[in-house]
Amino acid sequence: MTDVVILGGGTAGWMTACLIAHRWPGATVTLVESPEIGIVGVGEGSTPQLKGFFDTLGIAESDWMPACDATYKLGIGFDGWSDRPGYDRYFHPFPTALDSHTAASFFYATRARRTGRDVEAHPDRFLLPARLAADARAPQPAENFPFEVSYGYHFDAHKVGAFLAGHATGPLGVVHRQARVTTIERAPNGDVAALLCDDGARIAGDLFVDSSGFRSLIFGALEVPFVGYGDTLFNDSAVVMPTPGRTPVPSQTSATALSAGWVWDIPLTTRTGNGYVYSSRHLTPAQAEAELRTHLGIGDAGQARHLKMRVGRVRNSWSHNALAVGLAQGFLEPLEATALHLVIATVEAFLDAVDRGGTMPENRTAFNATIAARYDGVRDYIVAHYRLNQRNDDPVGYWAEARAVAPSDSLKGLMSAWFTGADMAAAIDQAGLGRYYSAISWHCLMAGYGTFPDAARLMPPGADIDRIDMARIDDFLTRCARNFDAHDRHLPHKDFP
């Protein structure tokens, strides 16, 4: 695989170009994109894997963050997904080394409350990133503080694409072509032989990457089946509009439930990204836009952009001599901002597979099974948000319908462990779900929505329950939080010294 051709210059295409050119310096990598088609231009929140991506490429935060209006992200605050008193909001943090000090108490407390004891079990009371995010602190500790906190970023999607294009075509030597691909030429054995462009060019190669977005041009031509997730994830539309930036700049994404979906709030240094991800079975685009405008309090000001999404994944991400990444590979709604994470995971797993075992069919089969399981694992976590929502403000019946979706067998097993008071960490291990979301994440989701017996039915904790010293945990978190500076002071951006 020395001649790599990438179709598409969105974030997925340029990330892939960087990773392949970095790992295989002897390969010729060509990226072709059509400026007139353009990129989807959303996707502005990440997981900590994006930090790993920039670290792999040797690109410092001080280089890319200012160029992309980027901010730090400690996790996601879920607002309005539950009506349970005391559980209207919770924070889902990225897992971090300091969790080992409080996670055991958190797990113990949730189990005690699940089995009917009146103990404090809200995740935000136990985990440091929730405290840091609530105070708009950055994830960088003071120098003498011996623990790191893991984090992701928020960024401008167009600017990240441009930054990565500069890195790919500069130090990494990727060839950039601008043309519209009209035909996928096949070889007699079914492989892709070349991309034919509207300017008459024929771009041949031995590996083709489909990062053509929802068009999925190459995988469409290869007729790779698509596995839809629409039966459990209803949201297939979005309406997007920016609002001005604000200070202090939050160090978290917010995901606020509305009548038929949820709205993201992604804070950049220069603006706030907002988008209502909703189900077109429950709302028209005009209704969704009106609801978003009301939520943002902006009346008729500004221009909204409407998007339709194809929800699910290709059955096989590696087919013939082609690899699918990004929206051409699949789409899971951005509730956990996992798309770029999946791009990185797919490309790295592919490079590992080829470096280890070449293009042998069994190698390809194993890779495809791994990536499909990863998608399905993330899908399960997102479905759990809907299945366990406790929102009764439900004018269009969306939230009740979401509570009734059929969970996968592994998710069903996990829910049954939760409701029967079983050991969740063991159940997560057994279902293999810990590979995609940690036990802490699962506990946050289930406890965060107040999925416990009604408060009136809880009994005071008796002598059989260890006392959880909340004052001590609170004091520990307060002392730790003092070691973290204000987010604004840490932003490596020209306007944020």
Q: What is the binding site for ligand FAD (CB under 6 A)? A: 7-13, 32-34, 37-40, 42-46, 157, 180-181, 211-213, 215, 217, 238, 275, 277, 307, 309, 326-328, 334, 337, 339-340
Query: How far apart are CB 63 and ligand FAD at their closest, in Å?
Result: 21
Give me the least distance between CB of 208 and ligand FAD, in Å please: 13
- One of 51, 73, 412, 494 is an active-site residue; which one? 73
Beta-carbon contacts of residue 213 (< 8 Å; ≥ 6 apart): 8, 10, 12, 39, 40, 326, 327, 328
- Number of residues written out for the chain: 497
What number of other Cβ atoms are within 10 A of residue 262's Cβ?
24
Judged by beta carbon, residue 42 or residue 98, the one nearer ligand FAD is 42
Measure Cα distances from 105 to 88, 120, 394 in Å.
22, 10, 34
Which three-class secondary structure string do you get for 13-47? HHHHHHHHHHHCCCCEEEEEECCCCCCCCCCCECC
Least separation in angstroms between residue 387's CB and ligand FAD is 22
The helix (run of H) or strand (run of E) holding residue 182 is strand 181-186
Query: Distance (Å, rounded) from C-alpha 265 to C-alpha 262?
Result: 10
* Shortest distance in whole angstroms from residue 396 CB to ligand FAD: 20
Closest to ligand FAD by CB, 103 vs 277, is 277
CB closer to ligand FAD out of 43 and 95: 43
Does 494 qualify as catalytic in the annotation?
A: no
Least distance to ligand FAD from the beta carbon of 366, Å? 24
Q: Count of alpha carbons within 13 Å of 238, Cβ hemisphere only?
A: 23
Question: Closer to ligand FAD at the Cβ: 102 or 216?
Answer: 216
Query: What is the number of alpha carbons within 13 Å of residue 333 lying toward its C-beta?
Result: 28
Closer Cβ to ligand FAD, 346 or 483, answer by number: 346
Q: Which is nearer to ligand FAD, 39 or 388 (CB)?
A: 39
Report the distance separating Cα 421 and Cα 113, nearest Å.
Answer: 9
One-letter amino acid of 274:
N
CB of 34 or CB of 346, closer to ligand FAD: 34
Residue 200 Ramachandran class (φ > 0 left, ψ -120 to 50 alpha, else beta): left
Cα angle 59, 62, 67 (rounded to 5 degrees) comes to 90
Listed residue (72, 84, 144) closest to 113, CA to CA? 84
> Residue 156 CB, nearest distance to ligand FAD (Å)?
11
Q: How far apart are CA 270 and CA 488, in angstroms?
A: 12
The two three-digit tokens of residue 307, written as one number: 């998007």
Q: Least distance in Å: CB of 481 to ligand FAD?
A: 26
Distance CA 110, CA 112 (A): 5
What's the CA gap between 294 and 482, in Å, rounded? Answer: 37
Please list the alpha-helical segments (H only) found in 388-485. 398-403, 409-419, 424-431, 439-448, 470-481
**Which amino acids are annotated catalytic?**
73
